[in-house]
C-alpha cells in the first residue's frame, strides 16, 4: 500500500483501492450438499470488505478527491483484471506460491490478463525510490511495451541500465539492439547506459537480479512472458525466476 501511495504522490495521480472475495462452492459428498453459502455468509464477507475499506481510507494520505475504493463479491484476480480498465498502472503484492483463488489475487496470473503495466511489490518492501533502475531487455513485443510503459519512472531515475543477456555468438547483435534502446530513451531525456552480458550457468533471472543488486537498483523493468494452457498460467523461465526470486519491485508488461 505504501509503495502505491508513494507512486501516486510522486506523479500527482489518483489511487483506486480494490478488494474482493469469491463465494466458495458448496462441498458435495455422495450427492449430498454438506455446506452451502448462506445470506449470513455473504453479509460476513461484505462486513470484511467494509473493514478493508475503512483501513484503506485511514492509511492513504492523499486528498479525498484523489482516493477511490471499489469492492466486489467475485474472484479477486478476475475483479482486479476488470477494474484495471480504470488505471494507468497496477500495484500489487508479489504473492509467491499458489494463491487462494477465493480470497487472494494471483499476482503472476493477473499480470498476463490485465493489459496494464504492473508493479509487483515483494513482501518486505515498503517503498520504491526507482532512482536506479535495471531494464531486462529482450527484442520482443513485451519488452518494448515494458520500456514504453516505464518511461515515467525512467525519466525520473538518475541511472538506468539497459541489459541484454545473450549467447556468446549474439554479442554484436545484442550490443546493437541495446544501443538502439539507449538512443530511444535518451531522446526522451532518460539517463541510461547499455550493458550486454553473456549467458552463464546461472539462470538469466538470477543474473539480472545480481546486476540490479550491484547497481543498487530497487526496480527491475521487463516484459512478462507467458500464456494460458488448460486453465493454468505457463510462464517463461526469466519471468518465473524473477517472480520467485527478485528481492526488489518489478515493473512488468504483457
Query: Structural domain of residue 229, as residue ranges?
Result: 132-253
Whether residue 61 sits in one domain with residue 24: yes
Whether residue 231 sits in one domain with residue 157: yes
pLDDT digits (tens, 9 = 90+) for 59-102: 999 999 999 999 999 999 999 999 999 999 999 999 876 778 88
Rounded Cα distance, 184 and 163, in Å? 15
Question: Residue 68 — φ and ψ, nearest 5°?
Answer: -140, 150
Domain boundary among 101, 121, 141: 121
Torsion 42-52-79-233 (CA) sign: negative
Whether residue 164 sits in one domain with residue 83: no
Rounded Cα distance, 86 and 253, in Å? 17
Which residue stretches of the chain are H helix?
Answer: 2-11, 39-59, 76-83, 107-114, 141-149, 151-156, 171-186, 204-214, 237-245
Does residue 37 surpass a pLDDT of 60? Answer: yes
- CA triplet 16, 235, 165: central angle to 5 degrees? 100
Percent over 70 (pLDDT), the chain: 91
User: Mapping DSSP to helix (H, G, I), strand (E, B) and coil, where does residue 94 land?
Assistant: coil
Torsion 58-64-67-69 (CA) sign: positive
Judge whether 156 lies within some domain: yes
Whether residue 162 sits in one domain with residue 76: no
Judge whether 127 lies within some domain: no
Across the chain, how many H-helices and E-strands are there? Answer: 9, 13
Find the helix packing angle between 107-114 and 76-83, rounded to 10°: 30
**CATH code for the domain in which residue 88 is found:** 3.40.50.620
pLDDT digits (tens, 9 = 90+) for 135-182: 999 999 999 999 999 999 999 999 999 999 999 999 999 999 999 999
Residue 230: band (very low, low, confident or very high) from pLDDT cuts 50, 70, 90: very low
pTM of the model: 0.90
Domain boundary among 91, 121, 151: 121
Amino acid at each position: 500500500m505504501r509503495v502505491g501511495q508513494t507512486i501516486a504522490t510522486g506523479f500527482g495521480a489518483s489511487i483506486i483501492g480494490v478488494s474482493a472475495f469469491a463465494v466458495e462452492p458448496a462441498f458435495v459428498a455422495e450427492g449430498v450438499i454438506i455446506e452451502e453459502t448462506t445470506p449470513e455468509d455473504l453479509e460476513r464477507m461484505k462486513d470484511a470488505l467494509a473493514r478493508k475499506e475503512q483501513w484503506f481510507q485511514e492509511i492513504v494520505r492523499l486528498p479525498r478527491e484523489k482516493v477511490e475504493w471499489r469492492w466486489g463479491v467475485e474472484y479477486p484476480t478476475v475483479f482486479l483484471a476488470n477494474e484495471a480498465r480504470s488505471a494507468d498502472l497496477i500495484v500489487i503484492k508479489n504473492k509467491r506460491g499458489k494463491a487462494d483463488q477465493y480470497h487472494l489475487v494471483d499476482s503472476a496470473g493477473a499480470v498476463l490478463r490485465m493489459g496494464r503495466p504492473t508493479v509487483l511489490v515483494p513482501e518486505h518492501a515498503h517503498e520504491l525510490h526507482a532512482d536506479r533502475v535495471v531494464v531486462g531487455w529482450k527484442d520482443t513485443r513485451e519488452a518494448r511495451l515494458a520500456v514504453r510503459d516505464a518511461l515515467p519512472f525512467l525519466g525520473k531515475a538518475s541511472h538506468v541500465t539497459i541489459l541484454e543477456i545473450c549467447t556468446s555468438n549474439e554479442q554484436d547483435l545484442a550490443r546493437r539492439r541495446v544501443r538502439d534502446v539507449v538512443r530511444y530513451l535518451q531522446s526522451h531525456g532518460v539517463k541510461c547506459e547499455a550493458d550486454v552480458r553473456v549467458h552463464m550457468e546461472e539462470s538469466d533471472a538470477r543474473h539480472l537480479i545480481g546486476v540490479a543488486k550491484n547497481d543498487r537498483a530497487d526496480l527491475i523493468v521487463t516484459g512478462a512472458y507467458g500464456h494460458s494452457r488448460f486453465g493454468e498460467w505457463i510462464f517463461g523461465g526469466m519471468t518465473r525466476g524473477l517472480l520467485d526470486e527478485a528481492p526488489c519491485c518489478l515493473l512488468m508488461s504483457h
